[in-house]
Amino acid sequence: MPETLYERLGGEERIKRLVVDVIDNHYRNPLIRPRFEKISDRAAFERHVVEFLCAGSGGPQTYTGKDLVSAHKGMNVSEQELVAAIDDILAAMTKNEYDQAEKNEVVAILYSLKGDVLRL
């Protein structure tokens, strides 16, 4: 049986390291930093992102955060902000030495969710 994306991403511990790097990148990115500076509990935010990525990639974790539409409602996220966020994710994946196949799969998933994030 082929490995799940979760397994290819290295399971929960490696995904946790990836998420920390992604969020660090978001805080350094001038285009989207103001959105992330408004987050009052970074640890809870990181936990939800880890849960989301683990559950969404085939892991056993349960996602306990808001659904994407509820989480992004009223934010009016632009296409440029979405691309900036995805670029940050790809940079973190490169730093964490993920293969191109995993990068491609994650980007495809992210783009498939854009209707739940953009212009809400």
> Please, is 93 exposed, middle or buried when counting C-beta atoms within 10 Å of its C-beta (0-12, 13-18, 19+)?
buried
For 20-73, what is each residue's pLDDT tens digit? 999 999 999 999 999 999 999 999 999 999 999 999 999 999 999 999 999 999
* DSSP SS3 for 96: coil
For 79-98, what is each residue's pLDDT tens digit? 999 999 999 999 999 999 99
46 residue type, one letter: E
pTM value?
0.95
For 4-23, what is each residue's pLDDT tens digit? 999 999 999 999 999 999 99
Domains of the chain, earliest start first: 7-116 (1.10.490.10)
Nearest alpha-carbon partner for 25 in 73, 93, 71 = 93
pLDDT value at 1 more than 90: no
